[in-house]
Amino acid sequence: MSKDLVVILTALNLEYQAVRGKLAGPRSHLHERGTRFEVGTVQGTSCRVALGLTSKGNHSAAVIAERAIQEFSPAAVLFVGVAGALWDTARLGDVVMATHVYAYHGGTSEDDGLKARPRVWEAAHGISQLGSHLARVNDWADETPARGRTPQVRFGAIAAGEIVQNSKISAEARWIRQHYNDALAIEMEAAGVAQAGHLNGAPVAIIRGISDRADGTKSSAKDRDWQPRAAANAAAFATRLAVELVSEQEQMAMSQADRAQTSDRRTAGVSNTANGSTVGIMAGSVKESSVYVHGAPRTTGPVDLVTELEGVREHLNRLHAEGAIDDDTNCEARTELDAARLAAQENTPGSSRAATMALKRLRGLIADFPELVARLAPLVVAAGDLS
């Protein structure tokens, strides 16, 4: 799993551009079957985003979501865009994050009417909890135009079907509001993405900005005014959610690395199995010392960042040669290493931030290797001390 990468998918170009505007340095990534993604970082962060366009409908969304999950092994998949509100709970411009998704076109037709038989997918617990936290903090929105109010985040069900809903009085509109009266919004892709995430074990979040009321006014001038605003609000919340998701993954990786280091230190204090000797250390304090375990020196003195980065490169090359790291990850990791090394060598104003960001991105790429993550930890600190 790529702990520093989140996939964001949209159905419309308007929604795609709203997310793309949040990314720095987007680069084209072509799937072998022709699907085109763009991979960039959320501006001012180390969070990578793979952005893709699905077009309308649950079926297309499911296929592209499946393809994105297989291609990137992301920390999560976010589907972002606009939707129609079914009730007045969500106002125009608000953002709805799905607690669960109804595929409402499931049913059975009987003599006494159409009976609902939906499929339902619940949002991943961790993502729901994080979304609720961000809503409480409420600092995710871009500057609100003078004519508008601050958008709010609503949590509830989203209904996903196969046709555009734009009526309050049609037979289907009445049926939906009768059988899915807890749904806050209605759209056409969430069920497909939720199914793809379910089959692949990938956490999914559906994030929709309310652009209309699905009540017959969808094609009005008012709707055309609200669509870009709703898309921008959904993109703002989704990218903030992506950044926090990646941050959590990095913290978990660091915690695992710390536990691994603690375990190594305990093992080293009992015996060195490489030469059969027993090692014991008992002292009030130990300064400027080196302890060698299994031939790997760990120093407590000042860090020579450039030299240590070369050691990380050798470690990375070894893992790649063993087949533990794939070619793409190795290439991206080497790029970040080169960027960090260049910043460390220049040691000019701005070098600290450049080196730190590169090392954090590198840490996300190799998060599945606790020993290498642990080796990076003091280097991130050292990078922060550059001029």
Most confident region among 281-290, 314-323, 349-358 by mean pLDDT: 314-323
CA-nearest of 123, 113, 105, 234 to 180 is 105
Tell me the C-alpha distance between 226 and 245, whole Å.
Answer: 28
Query: Token digits for 38?
Result: 């763009």
Tell me the C-alpha distance between 164 and 57, whole Å.
Answer: 10
Model pLDDT, residue 94: 96
Average pLDDT, the chain: 84
Q: What is the full DSSP assignment across 178-210?
A: HH-TTEEEEESSHHHHHHHHHHHT--EEEEEEE
Question: Is pLDDT above 80 for 379?
Answer: yes
Model pLDDT, residue 233: 96
Backbone angles phi, psi at 314, to 5 degrees: -65, -40
Question: Is pLDDT above 60 for 267?
Answer: no
List the beta bridge partners of residue 18.
none
CA atoms within 13 A on the CB side of 332: 19
Model pLDDT, residue 283: 47
From the DSSP assignment, how many helices (H) and strands (E) are in the chain? 10, 14
pLDDT in tens, 192-208: 999 999 999 999 999 99
For residues 279-314, one letter each, b for 16 or more C-beta atoms within 10 angstroms of the residue's C-beta and e for the rest, the string is: eeeeeeeeeeeebebeeeebeeeebebeebbeebee
Model pLDDT, residue 381: 81
Residues 6+ apart with CB under 8 A from 180: 86, 102, 104, 116, 118, 157, 159
Tell me the C-alpha distance between 151 and 236, whole Å.
Answer: 11
**30 class by beta-carbon count within 10 Å (0-12 exposed, 13-18 middle, 19+ buried):** exposed
- In the chain, the amino acid numbered 97 is M
Model pLDDT, residue 12: 96
Question: Is pLDDT above 70 for 128?
Answer: yes
Percent of the chain with pLDDT strictly greater than 70: 84
If one compares 50 and 299, the residue with the highest pLDDT of the two is 50
- In the chain, the amino acid numbered 91 is R
Model pLDDT, residue 325: 85
If one compares 292 and 134, the residue with the highest pLDDT of the two is 134
Model pLDDT, residue 148: 65
Query: Do residues 127 and 246 touch, judged by C-beta distance below 8 A?
Result: no
Query: Token digits for 20?
Result: 């793309």
Question: Is pLDDT above 50 for 52?
Answer: yes
Backbone angles phi, psi at 185, to 5 degrees: -145, 165
Model pLDDT, residue 204: 97
Residues 6+ apart with CB under 8 A from 302: none
First to last CA, the chain: 34
Torsion of CA 162, 165, 170, 175, to 10 degrees: 60
Model pLDDT, residue 261: 59
Instruction: Say which range, 172-176, 188-192, 229-233, 287-291, has the weakest mean pLDDT.
Output: 287-291
Long-range contacts of 369-373 (CB under 8 A, 24+ apart): 369/319, 369/324, 369/325, 370/253, 370/256, 370/257, 370/259, 370/260, 371/257, 371/260, 372/312, 372/315, 372/316, 372/319, 373/253, 373/254, 373/256, 373/257
Instruction: Say which range, 14-23, 58-67, 330-339, 377-386, has the weakest mean pLDDT.
Output: 377-386
